[in-house]
């Protein structure tokens, strides 16, 4: 009996037959996550319903030395949930209970398969929501959010998943169930939860998550400002930050991404704009009102030629529509594209954008820029036609050079999409051997056998040389209109 057969037998003892997938055709459903460039059919897929079942399966994996990979909704953009042909894919889609919503404690306890937006939906009757809002929030799971330390447009003001997770029940790579953190803040001992959030499934799997709920703001205002170029839009962003205003979000799109969005969703952004800013303000009504006038003034001072403001949800949705559709819209102007995710210090924005323009000019590869301007998180979209010989390679080169540009300006190779399998080869450009070795100490403490999502985040010789992921087609979830890549 092979190790896979042995684990599958254990799974069948505790799970219904339809929760243990061994059929190759069905297994292929899980061959990739949101980064469809990488595909591996898992050796086995299981769908446990309880922490105990999940722990039993992981214990069996540990016993047989089989690698396991956690998968939530499969919306990740760095191949973090790429399965192993020699391993087990543990899917959390049957762990979808919102266990508790406690208004008085401003907490919810949810299972890992719960959809991000469903946490906010459960809290809505109490006037609360879950703040981290990745754009895939209609489909992405909390377990995946914990693995990736997901952000979202509003993390500028509200922070990331790591700032909103207070506790987690976790199954270690040895199959032990441990509780890290609680309802209350500051659990005594090392902040293991702080290490687990964002560890991309390499330190174990969470089976229940205690999250902070945030009071809904009294008022939200969304401003759309059109500028002649990204320079003016960038200057307006700096002016807003310098004025001491912390908007909920500041998003920027350049001419090419506006063109694509117009073609895709007719968002009706200001005509002739070389750049638009979407600035969202939220909070107490009187404050938002005042900040709105400030933002309006600062945008006009920095040569905004058109300003629109939305206060009701429909108008807001209209403004956000262009921004949220920007990635998928690339299909309208290019057959293929690479979504990049780099971070720079915000003040380096003009310089880095010029650098990207130069790269584009010298290589002849078009790059559209969409980004979270408030925190310097760039999403350059590198456009190419895979039908043209060498075009894919040229695009990959430019995409990599953009990351080099980010690193050169003291930034990061990923702000929210994660390292996964896609960027493991870039880690040594940002961290030296000692840094990476030190991070490995954490891995060794949690998973000495290296069975929990091995091969992700950290480069190993056999993984070196991989190329950044290409988006050859929209993700199936995008095609169905269930998710937007943001």
Q: Which of positions 102-131 make contact with another protein (CB under 8 A)?
A: 102-107, 127
Closest CB to another protein among residues 8, 78: 78
According to CB under 8 A, which one of 291, 336, 422, 484 is a site residue for another protein? 291
| Nearest distance in Å: CB 373, another protein | 12
Q: Is 475 left (phi over 0), alpha (psi -120 to 50) or beta?
A: beta
* Stretch near another protein under the rule CB under 8 A, chosen from 54-62, 170-178, 324-332, 356-364: 170-178
Residue 184 within binding range of another protein, rule CB under 8 A: yes
Number of residues that bind another protein (CB under 8 A): 88
Site for another protein in 426-465 (CB under 8 A): 427, 430-431, 434-439, 441-446, 457-458
Among 163, 229, 268, 363, binds another protein (CB under 8 A): 163
- Residue 296 lies near another protein (rule: CB under 8 A): no
Residues 341, 382: contact at Cβ < 8 Å?
no
Q: Cβ closer to another protein: 179 or 480?
A: 179
Both tokens of 58, joined, read 């992981």
Distance between CA atoms of residues 421 and 458, nearest Å: 8
Residues 134-153 that bind another protein (CB under 8 A): 148-149, 151
Q: Please report how close the Cβ of residue 237 comes to another protein at its closest, in angstroms.
A: 10
| Nearest residue to 419 (alpha-carbon basis) of 200, 202, 201 | 200
133 binds another protein (CB under 8 A): no
Residue with tokens 């981290």: 132
Binding test (CB under 8 A) with another protein, winner from 30, 38, 160, 320: 160
Residues between 14 and 43 that touch another protein (CB under 8 A): none
Strands 342-343 and 249-254: unpaired
The least distance separating another protein from the CB of residue 147, rounded to whole angstroms, comes to 10
Assess 319 for contact with another protein (CB under 8 A). Answer: no
Instruction: Work out how close the CB of 181 gets to another protein at its nearest, in angstroms, rounded to a whole number.
Output: 8
Q: Which two tokens stand for residue 155?
A: 């993390």
Q: Among 146, 154, 396, which Cα is nearest to 251's?
A: 154
Under rule CB under 8 A, which residues in 41-70 are in contact with another protein?
none
Task: Single out the residue of 401, 406, 404, 398 nearest to residue 352, CA to CA.
Answer: 406
Contact 23, 76 (CB under 8 A): no
Residues linked to residue 200 through DSSP beta bridges, in sequence order: none
- Whether the CB-CB separation of 218 and 286 falls below 8 Å is answered with no
Which residues in 186-225 contact another protein (CB under 8 A)? Answer: 186-192, 194-195, 197-199, 215, 217-218
Residues 410-429 that bind another protein (CB under 8 A): 410-419, 423, 427
Within 10 A of 389 (CB to CB), how many other CB atoms are there?
8
Q: Which is nearer to another protein, 74 or 217 (CB)?
A: 217
Q: How far is the CB of 102 from another protein (least distance, A)?
A: 7
Which residue from 240, 223, 241, 250 is spatially nearest to 298, judged by alpha carbons? 240
Cβ neighbors of 429 (< 8 A, separation 6 or more) are 403, 404, 407, 413
- Using CB under 8 A, which residues numbered 236 to 275 contact another protein? 238, 241-242, 244, 246
Contact 273, 254 (CB under 8 A): no
312 lies in the binding site for another protein (CB under 8 A): no
Which of residues 46 and 281 has its CB atom nearest to another protein in the complex?
A: 281
Binder of another protein out of 12, 98, 117, 183 (CB under 8 A): 183
CB of 75: closest distance to another protein in angstroms? 15
- The DSSP symbol for 468 reads P
Q: Where do the DSSP E strands lie in 284-364? A: 306-310, 336-339, 342-343
């Amino acid at each position: 009996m092979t190790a896979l057969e042995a684990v599958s037998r254990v799974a069948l003892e505790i799970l219904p037959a339809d929760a243990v997938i061994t059929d190759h055709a069905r297994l292929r459903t899980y061959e990739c996550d949101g980064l469809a460039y990488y595909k591996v059919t898992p050796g086995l897929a299981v769908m446990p319903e309880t922490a105990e079942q999940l722990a039993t399966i992981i214990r069996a994996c540990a016993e047989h030395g089989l690698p396991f990979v956690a998968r939530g909704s499969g919306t990740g953009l760095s191949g973090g949930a790429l399965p192993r042909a020699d391993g087990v894919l543990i899917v959390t889609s049957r762990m979808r209970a919102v266990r508790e919503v406690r208004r008085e404690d401003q907490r919810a306890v949810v299972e890992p398969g719960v959809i991000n937006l469903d946490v906010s939906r459960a809290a809505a009757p109490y006037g609360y929501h879950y703040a981290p809002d990745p754009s895939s929030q209609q489909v992405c799971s909390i377990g995946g959010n914990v693995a990736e330390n997901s952000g979202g447009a509003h993390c500028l003001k509200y922070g990331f998943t790591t700032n909103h997770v207070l506790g987690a029940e976790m199954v270690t790579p040895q199959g032990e169930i441990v509780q890290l953190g609680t309802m209350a803040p500051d659990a005594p001992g090392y902040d293991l939860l702080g290490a687990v959030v964002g560890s991309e499934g390499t330190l174990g799997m969470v089976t229940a998550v205690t999250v902070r709920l945030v009071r809904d703001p009294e008022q939200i205002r969304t401003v759309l400002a059109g500028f002649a170029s990204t320079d003016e839009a960038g200057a307006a962003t700096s002016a807003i930050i310098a004025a001491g205003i912390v908007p909920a979000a500041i998003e920027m799109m350049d001419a090419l991404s506006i063109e694509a969005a117009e073609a895709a969703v007719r968002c009706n952004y200001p005509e002739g704009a070389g750049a638009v800013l979407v600035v969202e303000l939220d909070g107490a009504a009187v404050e938002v009102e005042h900040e709105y006038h400030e933002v309006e003034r600062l945008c006009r001072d920095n040569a905004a030629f058109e300003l629109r403001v939305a206060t009701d949800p429909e108008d807001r949705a209209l403004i956000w529509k262009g921004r949220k559709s920007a990635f998928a819209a690339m299909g309208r102007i290019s057959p293929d594209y690479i979504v990049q995710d780099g971070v720079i210090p915000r003040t380096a924005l003009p310089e880095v954008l010029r650098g990207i323009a130069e790269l584009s000019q010298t290589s002849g590869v078009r790059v559209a820029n969409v980004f979270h301007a408030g925190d310097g998180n760039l999403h350059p979209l590198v456009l190419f036609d895979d039908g043209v010989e060498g075009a894919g390679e040229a695009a990959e080169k430019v995409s990599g050079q953009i990351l080099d540009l980010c690193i050169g300006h003291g930034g990061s190779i990923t702000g929210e999409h994660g390292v996964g399998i896609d960027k493991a080869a870039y880690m040594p450009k940002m961290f030296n051997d000692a840094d990476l070795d030190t991070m490995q100490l954490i891995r060794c403490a949690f998973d000495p056998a290296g069975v929990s999502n091995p091969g992700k985040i950290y480069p190993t010789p056999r993984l070196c040389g991989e190329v950044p992921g290409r988006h050859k087609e929209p993700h199936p979830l995008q095609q169905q209109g269930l998710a937007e890549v943001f």
